[in-house]
């Protein structure tokens, strides 16, 4: 038992030292693929205690509870201010954020994670497969990594595994492991309720392909093809009322909701749109497998 504790202590010191070295490196955030990643967007209530607080395209979600709130994704580094203002505009306190989650460990969803974690004191919970990338700020990502961190490195407080439950107040979220886009890409399944009814919500990390390399040439991720195949199969077997994703464009949010629209959860009940989006991504995967 004592030897086990010593090993854990040594590992903690090693990880802390590694992260300290990485953190000292200058962060070089890549240029955004589109201006819509930084473009402000008016926050709104999606369904029950679930709200959209992200930018025009980088989806960030706030789930409120009597015991504090959960924030999923943080956008680019400069999104921190927008998220803070959006939460305030909805009538909630930024500092009431107690849990931070993410759908994937890329800079467009992790850019402000370290800053928000520090300012709110919230606990970061992540899929264990994406933790190494989070700790080096994206440097070791198999597709878009590099010599310099693309976002400020951050250490999670809890490692999540497929099927794990995140609990806060009256909310329970199930994390689902849907790898491929990153090694630890994650989706979340939970239920919210408004004045009329309950809604089973699915925040899906859609399995888009981010690498130009043939799968069999990616030595840093030898299981990538198998992981994508697993994810496509898993995504087809999930039931939900409302589906959302990591990018507003992925679930056609701007066709379903305009700033100033009245509260209307029904517009996000789009199983046909989900099936079509998934089918299109699977075609791209099958084309990729032919390389």
* pLDDT bracket for residue 29 (50, 70, 90): confident
Look at the chain and report how many structural domains it folds into: 1
**DSSP string covering 153-172:** ----SEEE-TT-EEEETTEE
**pLDDT at 12 (0 to 100):** 41
Q: What is the pLDDT of residues 76-99, one digit of tens each?
A: 999 999 999 999 999 999 999 999
User: What is the rounded distance in angstroms from the CA atom of residue 150 to the CA atom of residue 274?
Assistant: 30
* pLDDT bracket for residue 21 (50, 70, 90): very low
Residue 118 pLDDT exceeds 80: yes
Q: What is the pTM of this model?
A: 0.91
Q: What is the pLDDT of residues 225-264, one digit of tens each?
A: 999 999 999 999 999 999 999 999 999 999 999 999 999 9
Q: Where are the beta strands (DSSP E) in the chain?
A: 44-47, 50-52, 61-65, 68-72, 97-101, 123-127, 158-160, 165-168, 171-177, 186-193, 198-204, 242-245
Of all residues in the chain, the percent with pLDDT exceeding 90 is: 88
CA angle centred on 89, ends 85 and 93, rounded to 5°? 75
Residue 11 pLDDT exceeds 70: no
- CATH value at residue 93: 3.60.15.10
The residues with which 73 forms a beta bridge, in sequence order, are: none
Round the CA-based radius of gyration of the chain to a whole number and report it.
Answer: 19
Three-state secondary-structure class, residue 49: coil
Domain, as residue range, for 16: 2-289
Alpha carbon separation from 127 to 160, 183, 248, 283 (Å, rounded)? 4, 9, 22, 27
Average pLDDT, the chain: 92
**pLDDT at 46 (0 to 100):** 98
**pLDDT at 24 (0 to 100):** 57
More confident residue, 31 or 157: 157
């Amino acid at each position: 038992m004592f030897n086990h504790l010593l090993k854990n202590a040594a590992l903690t010191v090693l990880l802390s030292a590694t992260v300290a070295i990485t953190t000292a490196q200058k962060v070089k955030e890549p240029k955004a693929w589109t201006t819509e990643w930084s473009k402000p967007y008016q926050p709104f209530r999606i369904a029950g205690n679930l709200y959209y607080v992200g930018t025009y395209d980088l989806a960030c979600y706030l789930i409120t509870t009597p015991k504090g709130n959960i924030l999923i994704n943080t956008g680019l580094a400069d999104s921190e201010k927008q998220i803070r203002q959006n939460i305030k505009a909805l009538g909630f306190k930024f500092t009431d954020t107690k849990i931070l989650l993410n759908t994937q460990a890329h800079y467009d969803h992790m850019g402000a994670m370290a800053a928000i974690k520090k300012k709110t004191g919230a606990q970061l919970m992540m899929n264990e497969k994406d933790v190494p990338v989070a700790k080096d700020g994206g440097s070791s990502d198999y597709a878009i990594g590099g010599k310099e961190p693309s976002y400020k490195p951050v250490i999670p407080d809890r490692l999540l595994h497929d099927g794990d439950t995140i609990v806060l107040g009256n909310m329970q979220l199930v994390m689902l492991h849907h790898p491929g886009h990153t090694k630890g890409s994650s989706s979340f399944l939970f239920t919210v309720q408004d004045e009329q009814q309950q809604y089973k919500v699915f925040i899906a990390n859609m399995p888009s392909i981010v690498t130009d390399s043939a799968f069999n040439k990616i030595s840093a991720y030898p299981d990538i093809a198998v992981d994508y195949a697993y994810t496509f199969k898993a995504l087809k077997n999930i039931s939900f009322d409302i589906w959302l994703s990591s990018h507003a464009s992925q679930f056609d949010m701007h066709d379903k909701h305009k700033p100033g629209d009245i509260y209307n959860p029904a517009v996000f009940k789009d199983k046909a749109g989900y099936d079509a989006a998934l089918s299109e991504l699977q075609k791209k995967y099958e084309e990729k497998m032919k390389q």
